Amino acid sequence: AAAAAGMEELRGRRDELARLIQGEEEERGRLQGQIWALTERLARANESLARKVAARNDFDRTIAETEAAYGKILESSQTLLSVLKGETGNSSKATEPKSTSKEKQADGQKHS
């Protein structure tokens, strides 16, 4: 009878342990499912981030190229303006009416 009681106690402890094992296996399964779901979300977030970083880099490159081109346009415009001002100055000197000798004589008489 004592042996049978001892065996019954061992079976009870084993059954309790089996229930604990089953509960932990279920928890492990839930955690693995959450890890899988989070891993999927992480992969999607990484892909989205990579696309956005690539797009931002494209914007940065386009902005830099546009700024460089704009700078060259400004520089060319300034050069062209300087050339035009120089030529305008030269052409106005060339087209200024020269005083005739009679005007020079008249000017000379005014001062005397």
Determine the length of the chain. Answer: 112
pLDDT at position 88, please?
79
Provide mean pLDDT across the span 92-98. 60
Q: How far apart are CA 55 and CA 68, in angstroms?
A: 20
Span 10-36, pLDDT tens digits: 999 999 999 999 999 999 999 999 999
pTM exceeds 0.85 for this model: no
Among all chains, which residue has been given the structure tokens 């060319």?
Answer: 76
pLDDT band, residue 42 (cuts 50/70/90):
very high
pLDDT range class, residue 68, cuts 50, 70, 90: very high
